[in-house]
Structure formats: C-alpha cells, structure tokens
C-alpha cells in the first residue's frame, strides 16, 4: 500500500439504511477505523452475516461480503474459511439471528474454534421485524408479541459462548469506540473463534435499554474494564471485585487505605474459565458490567486442524484414473 | 442331480437371515465371485431400518439379492430362483416372493420352537405342506459350521458367526466357483483380528464347499451353470451407486482443477457418500460433517463462495431443511451440487427403502420462482457420469444443481466398465473479463462481477481473496447489472426472467434425447427416469422379443427437459411412464410438454419388477383388449 489506509477506504458506495441514531452506525465506523488502523487487506477480508438489522453490515464494508440467510452465517463462514483458510472472516449477527434461529450454528462454530470473529450485536429486541422481544430480552419485556410482558428467561450471550467452549469472549459498547476498537483488534488477532458481544442501542424499539451502565456520566461506577494481569477495579480505583472464599462469589469491596488493600482485589486472569464464568454472569445492576477481553485461552483452530488432519494436506496427490482401479478389477477381451 | 443351465441364461439368488448373520457380506462376496467368473449381475441389498432388530423377528430380516446371467442383466431380478434362509423369519418374509419350483436352502438348526414364536409362526412350515411346491434342501448349517471350526479355538459366538462363510462355501460349489479369491479377500479383511478368526472362517468356507460336493445329501443340491456374459472389451469392476457417485464428484474436481468440499450430515441412505468421500482426500476432496442439514448446505455454499466445488448431500427430509439455503445459492448465482439419495416418504417414511418421490421437491420445491437444473442417475455406474455432468452445469451456469439418485441405486451393485478419464472434457469455470481490477470506478467493477456469459448466463466465479475485486453478494434482490440491492419493480421482473432463462439455457448444452431401444416413432414408448432404467430396459427388450413395437426413452435431465423431447414423444401414439411415486414425472411432462401419459405408479418401497412393466406394456399396447376399455 502506498498511502496509509483510512476508515473511508473501508466504506462502500452504498447508502447506509439503518434508523438515524442506531448504534450500528457507531459500530460500523469503529470497524472501518479499526481495519484501517491494522492495515487489513480488504481483498482478504470477508464479512458474513445472517438476517436482521445488524446483518446489513457487509453491504457497508468495502471488503468481500456475503449477506446470507437467517441464523446461518456461522455455517457459511465455516465452509468459506475451510475453502480458503487465508481469509480473515468476520461473522456479524444479532441476538435474534445468533441466539434464536441460529443458536445451533453459533454453538458449533464456537466449540469447533473456527478462526473467525463473531460479533453479536445485542439490543435485546427484534428490530427488522418491528419490535418483538428476543431471546436476550429481560422477563417482562413488553413488545407487539408480548403485550403484557415476556415470560421466558433470557439467555446470557457470554455465558452461552463459554458453555459452548468458546476460547475468546469479550464485550464492548457500540458508542464506546475507545474501548471497542482494542477489543475488535484482539478478536482479529485471536487464532480461533473470537466471540464479541456488543451492547447496541436500538433507538426505535428498545431505546436506552443499557443506559444503566453505558451512560457516560456514570460509566466509571457502572463499568469494569477487564485487563489481564490487572486488579479488577472500577469507580476510578475506589472499588474492586474480591472473591469471597466462603460463598465462592464475587463481591464489591471499597478499596483504599482504610478499606480493602488493592493487593487483595482479584487480579484479572483471562485464562481462568471459572473467573470468566463469574464475570459473565454477574447480576446486572447490582454489579458493574464487565467489559473488554473477559476470557482468552487459545487452542488449535478448526480450520488449522482440518488441513493438518487431511490425508494429503489439502493437495491433490492422486488420480481418479488410479482410484477407479483400486480393488478387484477384471478384464474382458 | 445334473448341472442346470437356466432357460433364460440367468438366475436370481437371495440370501436372507438375521441382521447379525452377515448376510450382506455373504451376498457381496458371492457378487465378487460372480464378477470374476465373467457373468453380468445386479445386486439389491435389502436391510431393515433397525441396527440390530431383536434376533429372530421378521422385522430383523436382512436380505441380499443377486441376479446373475450369461446375458446383460439390468435388475436384481423379480423373483428369487434360489433362497438361502438362515432362520424361520427369513423364510416367512421371503416365501411369498418365490416362484413355484424355487430352491430353498434352510438352516434347520434355526428351526426351533423358540424361533417360530419369535417370528410369529404357528407351526413348523416344513410340516404344514406350505413348502410342497419348492425344492427344499435342509442343512444343519450351524451344527456343520461349529463342527468345522471346532479345531481352531474360536469362542462359541465367534464360531457361530462363521455360518455365513459356510453358506458361501456351499453356494460357491453350486455355481462352480473358485474359493481362492474369497480367501484372499478374507485374509485382508481379518488381518487385524486374532488369527483364529481368519482360520475359522476359511475352515467354514471350505467345509461348506466340501459338504455340498461330497455329503450324501449332495445329490439333492443342484449345480447351476452360468456362462460368461457378452460385454464390451475393457476393464471392469463391481461398483455401487454411492461409490460411483463419490468417484464422479472427485473426477469433477479433477476435471475442473478445484477442490471438492463435501459438506454433509448423516442420513440414510445418503451417508455412504460421505463415508466414501472422506477416504478420497488424495483426490482433492475434503469432507465436513456439519451440525445439521441446514449447516451442511450453508457450508457447501460458503465453500463455493470461497472457490471450491461445494457439494451437499442428503435424502428428502434433509433436502427439505436445506431448501432456504439452496434458494440463496441460486439468488447469489453460486455453484452447488445437491445430491438427493431419495428414500420412501413422506416425513421420516421408509428410510431404508427406495422411492423416486422427491422430483417435485427438486423441480418445484422452493419459495418463489426458483428454477434449478435437475439431473438423475439411471443406475449405479451411471452415477459417475451424472456427478460430472451435474458439476459441469453448476460451474458453467453458476447455479445449484440437483443430482437425484435413490436408495436402490446407492446400495445396488453391478459390473461397471471403467471409464477413460481422457475421454472427458475439462470442466471450465467462468473467469472475470477485462481489467476491472485496475479501475477506481466501483460501478464498472460491479458490472464486471455480474457480467454473465450470454449463452450460459453464468456469471464469473470471483472468490474472496481475488485482488481488486472485492464486492458484496446476498439474498436480497439485486440489480441485474451492478448487483446492488434493488427493490425496483422492472428489475425484479427482469431478474426473475433471467433466472428462468438460465435454467432453460442448460438445454442448449445437453444432448438431444435419444431412443435407447426401438423406433423413433410408433404405437408405444416407455419413458422413464432414474433407477427404473434397468427394469424398463429388460421389460422393453422382452416386449420387443414378443413382437411388440415398443420404444424405450430414458430421461437424464428432468430440468430442463431436452429440447427435442416434446417433438419426439409426439411421434408415439401412447407414452407409458413407470415411476416409483404417485405420478410426479407424469405431472412434469404435462406441465412442460402438455403431454398426457399413461402412469404406472409403484410406491411400495421396492423397485419395479420387470414383469410389472412388461404387463403394463402389454396392457397399454394399442389394440390390446385392456387398453380399449
């Protein structure tokens, strides 16, 4: 490349058609800037999506892109990545696409550890079909299909991913590019399935659903940014998370000279699956929202193993003409 | 008893027993021996859906039928001339299919009260007179087997397992066959087992052979003489449809110079294709067992998008699940081969039985106007060419293509003349024209991506990674020139017409329909498609021998139909169409050609018998009494 890439290089000539103010705009911008920052090759980058508002994403990224069918993006991405392991494949999905109709495929792409990034835009609502509750909607969500409030318990995307044996689980907020961009970079660098839940504001059907912890004014008290090897502190260092050995639960402690010393605050270990489980299931509201890379424990990726275990290393070493003659062949004259 | 040369130079043998009795192995090895003896043959394994049904029950009976002859053999035969029944249930199930005078070899050791009760048999059939019309040969096969393997130290259960080899030995003697090739095969097969397994089985084989030859009873055991069948000079092997189809897909990959990425999900009777292909890695094949049918199809499309030849495979219920993804493959103009090994339906239906009832599903079975090419294999060996043709069309026209086979073809075997790979044209793929990659004009680039070949209407195959050609595709309706999302009314009309024209254009590349037997005009043509080929072929041949002016026309392409088909069929007074469904191809011909045919529909889970078709030919031959009614 002669001149450095900019976010604009990753924008297409297509008019972006999300609702004005939709969180998707911020994520798109952050992605375009992030890929420019890491000098990603647009010709080797592919965005694969399913159906839903988030799944329009590929049309707006000036790379290769495939807008597929509802819930199945992970399966298309799997075939694509196996066919050409050199590609950098991103899956863009939502809480409905990824966890409702496509829950099965999400489970399998994560447990197989395909080298891909799965971005799940969670807005806790169906947007494109006009506002029905989704599998991440909290109990009591009033929607066109649940006029007196939803009654079924929601799924936690992060806990689902961990249960599926995902080896990279991170969280970010749509409008918080400062913290989202490093998460996207880390996801891209991870060799394996990198699952990123992005809290995304649907301003039409579920406006400010995450305001409790995304509001900038109170963010210091309501967010905890996880960094490997660093104590789990928030509220500008005034509070932290500590493990209560008796209950095996995390608790909030005041940190300081007259309170808990910082050395006693739990240090984030992104390779600790048990800690990841606790962070991903912290009760909302009571605790700050853990963000950043919560779990990262690499293992061989599926596409890598697929080629490694292929009998001829994906090369055509034999001839059909010879294969036809394997076994018992007889001649007629 | 003297040696018998059957009147019509062929004989049908059926082996039947419990699903754990090794009947399929017994039949398969007898078929191999038949091949080496130079006779023509066709086999039909007929097994229960249960993995191991309760021992001794009628629903646990597994059978293997082979028709062998010194003439061309086209089906596994209508009725067994020889039945080897290893237990009472096997006799009960198969007795109604036997013609009078048939030879029945019974394992008397299994004819116990306990087994009669398991098979719901009230009285010993040997005492009731129901076997009076047959030549019954009673042999204590289990006792004989145990006796033969006794010196070799096998456990009782291992020893009893040798009774299929004992039976095979006896049958080999009946047909004057060498044991040596079987022993060589067994030596390989059992090489990883404890040594006594091989020794015991070979001892059983030899004992069965010796018993038939020398025992006092041997006077009663008939010997059959089946000579060599006239076949064209060349190299032959025995092959099942599933094997031939798998090799055909590998061959298509070789001819196109692309990797074959086969994405499947286990389902009866399609799984054997996945099994075969997973052992063909060196032929440029990769296999992926997906989490479900939908994912298998999506992954295959993803692979095609990535530049490999994406193939998915299933049977009717699985194809139903793949339907939405197939529509996307068509809309995105990507190649895909969808193999459907049809089975009895609807719903879960009859998984191990055969049917041709997914023709509607293939031709019409998608949301919206979504035409696709559909090709059907006519027999086991033909699966090889059909797979190559399906792939060729998928790549040339950039479209998903249905390749139909069925449970019968998948498992049936016959001699197959090995093709010469040099006889096949390379499979060409559509490249990008011009130097669009160098331009800065995004519209010019997009037009290049969607610049379809005027004759095939196939677009260039541009996989991610291609430099300077990044673009977006999807399932939303797209502008016919730029591929951008388009809700324009006239554009949707134009795209719908384009998709129809593309499938129609396939007809420009396929050969005209030929008449396989008989004249190109006349009183009656029998039209068929798929696995009915063999039965129709023999029935038409026999009818013609009777002096009836009947023609055989067998369709390979169901969508589109060959261009000359309408005119060709209009030259017959009447068209008879046998198919294993309630009349799906008949509907298709009425739809596409405005032609009304005489339907012969069989939906029993079993392939057509030759006599069923022959009788229909006689009844429908113009001037026949019945036809006049």
Three-state SS for A228?
coil
pLDDT digits (tens, 9 = 90+) for B81-91: 999 999 999 99
Does residue A10 contact residue B470 with C-beta atoms inside 8 Å? no
Report yes or no on A163 lying in a domain.
yes
User: Which pLDDT score, from 0 to 100, does residue B28 have?
Assistant: 94
CB contact under 8 A, B299 and A64: no
Report yes or no on B512 lying in a domain.
no
Closest CA to A110 of A158, A62, A49, A181: A158
CB contact under 8 A, A66 and B282: no
Task: Provide, as residue numbers in chain B, all residues whose Cβ is less than 8 Å from the Cβ of A13.
Answer: 442-443
Task: Provide, as residue numbers in chain A, all residues whose Cβ is less than 8 Å from the Cβ of B281.
Answer: 310-312
On the question of pLDDT at B142 being above 90, the answer is yes
Task: Provide, as residue numbers in chain A, all residues whose Cβ is less than 8 Å from the Cβ of B250.
Answer: 320, 323
* Bridging pattern class, strands B61-69 and B40-46: antiparallel
Q: Which residues of B397-422 are buried (b: 16+ CB within 10 A; e: fewer)?
A: bbbbbbbbbbbbbbbbbbbbebbeee
pLDDT digits (tens, 9 = 90+) for B380-431: 999 999 999 999 999 999 999 999 999 999 999 999 999 999 999 999 999 9
User: Which pLDDT score, from 0 to 100, does residue B51 have?
Assistant: 75
B122 touches chain A (CB under 8 A): no
The count of structural domains within chain A is 1
Q: What CATH number is given to the structural domain containing A119?
A: 3.40.50.970
**Closest residue, chain B, to A17 (C-alpha):** B485
Question: Residue B270 gets which letter from DSSP?
Answer: T
* B184 HSE (CA, 13 A, CB side): 8
Report yes or no on B565 lying in a domain.
yes
- H or E element at residue B329: helix B316-331
| Mean pLDDT to the nearest integer, B448-453 | 96
Chains A and B form CB pairs within 8 A to the count of: 216
A71's tokens = 């819930």
Q: What CATH number is given to the structural domain containing B343?
A: 3.40.50.970
Query: How many angstroms away from the CA of A34 is the closest CA of chain B?
Result: 18
Question: Is there a single domain that holds both residue B133 and residue B199?
Answer: yes
Question: Residue B437 gets which letter from DSSP?
Answer: G
Instruction: Give the gyration radius of chain A's Cα atoms.
Output: 22
Count other C-beta atoms under 10 Å from residue B203's C-beta.
24
Cα gap A280→A276, rounded to integer Å: 6
Q: Which of B191, B224, B257 is the last residue of a domain?
A: B224
Closest CA to A51 of A94, A81, A91, A90: A94
Closest CA to A7 of A24, A28, A21: A28
Report yes or no on A142 lying in a domain.
yes
Restricting to A residues 13-72, those with a Cβ less than 8 Å away from any Cβ of B are 13-14, 42-46, 48, 58-59, 61-70, 72
Question: Is there a single domain that holds both residue B136 and residue B210?
Answer: yes
- Pick left, alpha or beta for residue B468 (phi over 0 → left; psi -120 to 50 → alpha; otherwise beta): left
Report yes or no on B515 lying in a domain.
no
- Pick left, alpha or beta for residue A90 (phi over 0 → left; psi -120 to 50 → alpha; otherwise beta): beta
Does residue A134 contact residue A148 with C-beta atoms inside 8 Å? no
Three-state SS for B557?
strand
Query: How many angstroms away from the CA of A75 is the closest CA of chain B?
Result: 5
User: Which pLDDT score, from 0 to 100, does residue B304 have?
Assistant: 98
CB contact under 8 A, A331 and B236: yes
Report yes or no on B514 lying in a domain.
no
Question: Residue A97 gets which letter from DSSP?
Answer: I
User: Which pLDDT score, from 0 to 100, does residue B441 have?
Assistant: 85
pLDDT digits (tens, 9 = 90+) for B153-173: 899 999 999 999 999 999 999
Q: Which of B389, B423, B457 is the last residue of a domain?
A: B423
Q: How confident is the model at residue B8 (pLDDT cuts 50, 70, 90)?
A: confident
Report yes or no on A120 lying in a domain.
yes
State yes or no: cis peptide before B346, omega within 30 of 0: yes
Count other C-beta atoms under 10 Å from residue B119's C-beta.
21
B181 touches chain A (CB under 8 A): yes
Closest residue to A332, CB basis, from B233, B263, B292:
B233
Angle formed by the axes of helices B195-214 and B141-149, nearest 10°: 130
User: Which pLDDT score, from 0 to 100, does residue A154 have?
Assistant: 97
Residue A298 domain boundaries: 7-219+294-308
Please report, to the nearest 10 degrees, the dihedral formed by the alpha carbons of residues B22, B26, B380, B578 taken in order. Answer: -80
A84 touches chain B (CB under 8 A): yes
Report yes or no on A256 lying in a domain.
no
Q: What CATH number is given to the structural domain containing B564?
A: 3.40.50.920
Question: Is there a single domain that holds both residue B262 and residue B371?
Answer: yes
Question: Is there a single domain that holds both residue B258 and residue B376?
Answer: yes
State yes or no: cis peptide before A63, omega within 30 of 0: no
Can you say whether the dihedral through the CA atoms of A323, B73, B179, B23 is positive or negative?
Answer: positive
**Closest residue, chain B, to A311 (C-alpha):** B281
pLDDT digits (tens, 9 = 90+) for B573-599: 999 999 999 999 999 999 999 999 999
pLDDT digits (tens, 9 = 90+) for B456-503: 999 999 999 999 999 999 999 999 999 999 999 999 999 999 999 999
On the question of pLDDT at B627 being above 70, the answer is no
Question: Is there a single domain that holds both residue B463 and residue B328?
Answer: no
CB contact under 8 A, A80 and B324: no
Question: pLDDT in tens for each of the 333 residues of chain A?
Answer: 468 899 999 999 999 999 999 999 999 999 999 999 999 999 999 999 999 999 999 999 999 999 999 999 999 999 999 999 999 999 999 999 999 999 999 999 999 999 999 999 999 999 999 999 999 999 999 999 999 999 999 999 999 999 999 999 999 999 999 999 999 999 999 999 999 999 999 999 999 999 999 999 999 999 999 999 999 999 999 999 999 999 999 999 999 999 999 999 999 999 999 999 999 999 989 999 999 999 999 999 999 999 999 999 999 999 999 999 988 899 988
CB contact under 8 A, B295 and A72: yes
Question: Residue A102 gets which letter from DSSP?
Answer: T
Q: Which of B374, B399, B423 is the last residue of a domain?
A: B423
A330 touches chain B (CB under 8 A): yes
Report yes or no on A235 lying in a domain.
no
**Phi and psi at residue A207, in whole multiples of 5°?**
-60, 135
Closest CA to B332 of A83, A65, A116: A65
Report yes or no on B175 lying in a domain.
yes
| Mean pLDDT to the nearest integer, B545-564 | 98
Three-state SS for A164?
coil
Query: How many angstroms away from the CA of A69 is the closest CA of chain B?
Result: 7
The residues, any chain, with a CB within 8 Å of residue A253's CB and separated by 6 or more, are A239, A240, A241, A242, A259, A260, A264, A265
Cα gap B129→B137, rounded to integer Å: 15
Q: Which of A17, A60, A324 would you mutate first to test chain B, the one with the most B CBs within 10 A?
A: A324
Residue B569 domain boundaries: 522-628
Q: Which residue in the block uniquely carries the two structure tokens 């019945």?
A: B626
Residues in chain B: 629
* Bridging pattern class, strands A88-94 and A45-49: parallel
Is the ipTM beyond the 0.95 threshold? yes
Q: Which residue in the block uniquely carries the two structure tokens 């009774």?
A: B163
Report yes or no on A146 lying in a domain.
yes
User: Which pLDDT score, from 0 to 100, does residue A1 have?
Assistant: 47
| Mean pLDDT to the nearest integer, B197-206 | 96
Question: Is there a single domain that holds both residue B123 and residue B217?
Answer: yes
Angle formed by the axes of helices B180-189 and B163-174, nearest 10°: 160
A309 touches chain B (CB under 8 A): no
A147 touches chain B (CB under 8 A): no
The count of structural domains within chain B is 4
Cα gap A122→A100, rounded to integer Å: 12
Report yes or no on B542 lying in a domain.
yes
Report yes or no on A156 lying in a domain.
yes
A249 touches chain B (CB under 8 A): no
B299 touches chain A (CB under 8 A): yes
CB contact under 8 A, B295 and A87: no
Percent of chain B exceeding pLDDT 90 equals: 91
Restricting to B residues 357-416, those with a Cβ less than 8 Å away from any Cβ of A are none
Cα gap A310→A315, rounded to integer Å: 9
Query: How many angstroms away from the CA of A152 is the closest CA of chain B?
Result: 26
Cα gap A197→A195, rounded to integer Å: 7
CB contact under 8 A, B237 and A105: no
A226 touches chain B (CB under 8 A): no
Question: Is there a single domain that holds both residue B241 and residue B219?
Answer: no
Q: Which of A83, A91, A302, A322 would you mutate first to test chain B, the one with the most B CBs within 10 A?
A: A83
User: Which pLDDT score, from 0 to 100, does residue A333 have?
Assistant: 84
CB contact under 8 A, A75 and B253: no
Report yes or no on B430 lying in a domain.
no
Report yes or no on A1 lying in a domain.
no
Restricting to B residues 548-607, those with a Cβ less than 8 Å away from any Cβ of A are none
Closest CA to B392 of B301, B314, B328, B309: B309
B466 touches chain A (CB under 8 A): yes
CB contact under 8 A, A323 and B303: no
Count other C-beta atoms under 10 Å from residue B453's C-beta.
15
Cα gap A319→B547, rounded to integer Å: 47
B235 touches chain A (CB under 8 A): yes
Q: Where are the beta strands (DSSP E) in B462-585?
A: 472-474, 522-529, 550-555, 557-559, 572-579
Cα gap A309→A315, rounded to integer Å: 12
Question: Is there a single domain that holds both residue B246 and residue B391?
Answer: yes
* Bridging pattern class, strands B61-69 and B10-18: antiparallel
Query: How many angstroms away from the CA of A107 is the closest CA of chain B?
Result: 9
Q: Which of B264, B282, B422, B446 would you mutate first to test chain A, the one with the most A CBs within 10 A?
A: B282
Q: How confident is the model at residue B629 (pLDDT cuts 50, 70, 90)?
A: very low
On the question of pLDDT at B49 being above 80, the answer is no
Helix then strand then coil, % of chain A, to nearest 5? 30, 25, 45
Q: What CATH number is given to the structural domain containing B192?
A: 3.40.920.10
Closest CA to A265 of A316, A231, A298, A313: A231
On the question of pLDDT at B434 being above 70, the answer is no
How far CA B118 is from CA of B19, B122, B370, in Å, comes to 14, 10, 52
Q: How confident is the model at residue B628 (pLDDT cuts 50, 70, 90)?
A: very low
């Amino acid at each position: 490349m002669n001149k450095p890439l900019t976010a604009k290089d990753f924008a297409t000539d297509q008019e972006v058609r999300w609702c004005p103010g939709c969180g998707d705009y911020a994520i798109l911008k952050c992605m375009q800037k992030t890929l420019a920052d890491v000098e990603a090759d647009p010709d080797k980058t592919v965005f694969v999506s399913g159906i839903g508002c988030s799944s329009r994403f590929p049309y707006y990224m000036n790379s290769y892109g495939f807008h597929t069918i509802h819930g199945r993006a992970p399966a298309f991405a799997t075939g694509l990545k196996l066919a050409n392991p050199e590609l950098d494949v991103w899956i863009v999905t939502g809480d409905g696409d990824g966890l409702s109709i496509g829950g099965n495929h999400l489970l399998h792409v994560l447990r197989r550890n395909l080298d891909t990034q799965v971005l799940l835009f969670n807005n806790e609502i169906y947007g494109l079909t006009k506002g029905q509750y989704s599998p991440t909607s909290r109990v009591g969500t009033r929607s066109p299909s649940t006029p007196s409030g939803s009654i079924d318990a929601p799924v936690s995307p992060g806990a689902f991913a961990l249960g599926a044996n995902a080896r990279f689980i991170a969280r970010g907020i749509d409008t918080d590019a400062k913290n989202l961009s490093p998460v996207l970079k880390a996801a891209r660098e991870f060799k394996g399935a990198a699952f990123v839940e992005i809290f995304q504001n649907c301003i039409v059907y579920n406006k400010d659903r995450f305001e409790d912890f995304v509001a900038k004014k109170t963010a210091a008290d309501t967010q905890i940014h996880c960094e490997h090897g660093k104590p789990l502190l928030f509220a500008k260092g005034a509070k932290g998370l500590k493990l209560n050995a008796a209950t095996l639960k995390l608790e909030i402690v005041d940190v300081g000279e007259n309170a808990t010393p910082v050395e006693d605050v739990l240090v984030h270990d992104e390779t600790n699956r048990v800690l990841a489980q606790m962070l991903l299931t912290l009760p909302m509201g009571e605790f700050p929202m853990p963000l950043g890379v919560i779990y990262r424990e690499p293992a061989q990726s599926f596409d890598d193993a697929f080629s490694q275990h292929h009998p001829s290393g994906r090369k055509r070493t034999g001839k059909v003409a010879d294969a036809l003659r394997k076994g018992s062949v007889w001649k007629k004259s | 008893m003297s040696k018998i040369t059957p009147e019509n130079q062929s004989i049908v043998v059926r082996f039947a027993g419990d699903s754990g009795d090794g009947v399929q192995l017994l039949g398969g090895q007898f078929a191999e021996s038949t091949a080496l003896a130079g006779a023509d043959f066709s086999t039909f394994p007929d097994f229960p859906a249960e993995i191991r049904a309760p021992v001794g029950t009628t629903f646990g009976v597994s059978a293997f039928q082979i028709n062998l002859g010194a003439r061309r053999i086209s089906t596994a035969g209508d009725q067994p001339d020889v039945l080897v029944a290893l237990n009472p249930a096997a006799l009960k199930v198969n007795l109604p299919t036997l013609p009078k005078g048939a030879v029945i070899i019974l394992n008397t050791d299994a004819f116990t009260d306990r087994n009669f009760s398991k098979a719901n048999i009230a009285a010993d059939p040997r005492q009731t007179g129901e076997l009076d019309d047959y030549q019954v040969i009673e042999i204590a096969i289990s006792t004989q087997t145990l006796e033969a393997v006794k010196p070799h130290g096998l456990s009782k259960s291992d020893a009893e397992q040798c009774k299929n080899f004992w039976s095979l030995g006896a049958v080999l003697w009946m047909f004057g066959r060498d044991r040596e090739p079987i022993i060589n095969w067994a030596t390989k097969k059992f090489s990883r087992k404890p040594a006594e397994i091989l020794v015991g089985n070979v001892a059983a084989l030899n004992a069965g052979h010796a018993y038939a030859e020398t025992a006092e009873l041997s006077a009663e055991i008939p010997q059959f003489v089946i000579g060599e069948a006239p076949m064209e000079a060349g190299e032959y092997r025995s092959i099942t449809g599933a094997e031939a189809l798998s090799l055909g897909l590998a061959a298509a990959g070789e001819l196109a110079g692309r990797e074959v990425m086969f994405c499947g999900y286990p389902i009866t009777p399609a799984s054997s294709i996945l099994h075969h292909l997973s052992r063909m890695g060196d032929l440029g094949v990769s296999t992926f067992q997906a989490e479900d049918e939908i994912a298998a199809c999506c992954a295959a499309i993803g692979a095609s998008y990535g530049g490999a030849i994406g193939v998915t495979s299933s049977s009717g219920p699985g194809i139903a699940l793949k339907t939405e993804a197939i529509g996307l493959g068509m809309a995105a103009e990507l190649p895909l081969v969808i193999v459907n090994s049809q089975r009895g339906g609807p719903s879960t239906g009859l998984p191990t039985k055969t049917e041709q009832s997914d023709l509607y599903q293939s031709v019409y079975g998608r949301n919206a106007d979504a035409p696709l090419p559909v090709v059907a294999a006519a027999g086991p060996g033909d699966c090889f060419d059909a797979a190559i043709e399906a792939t060729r069309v998928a790549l040339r026209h950039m479209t998903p293509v249905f390749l139909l086979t069925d449970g019968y073809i998948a498992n049936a075997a016959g001699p197959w003349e090995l093709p010469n790979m040099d006889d096949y044209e390379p499979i060409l793929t559509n490249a990008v024209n011009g130097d669009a990659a160098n331009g800065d004009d995004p519209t010019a680039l997009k037009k290049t991506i969607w610049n379809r070949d005027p004759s095939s209407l196939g677009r260039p195959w541009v996989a991610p990674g291609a430099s300077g050609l990044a673009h977006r595709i999807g399932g939303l309706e797209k502008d016919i020139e730029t591929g951008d999302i388009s809700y324009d009314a006239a554009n949707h009309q134009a795209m719908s017409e384009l998709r129809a024209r593309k499938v129609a254009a396939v007809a420009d590349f396929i050969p005209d329909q030929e008449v396989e037997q008989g004249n190109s005009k006349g009183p009656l043509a029998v039209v068929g498609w798929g696995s009915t080929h063999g039965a129709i072929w023999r029935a038409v041949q026999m009818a013609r021998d009777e002096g009836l002016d009947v023609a055989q026309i067998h369709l390979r392409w169901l969508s589109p139909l060959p261009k000359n088909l309408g005119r060709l069929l209009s030259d017959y007074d009447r068209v008879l169409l046998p198919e294993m469904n309630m009349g799906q191809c008949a509907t298709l011909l009425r739809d596409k050609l405005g032609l009304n045919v005489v339907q012969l529909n069989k939906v029993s889970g079993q392939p057509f018998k030759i006599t069923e078709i022959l009788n229909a030919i006689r009844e429908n031959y113009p001037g026949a009494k019945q036809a006049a009614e």
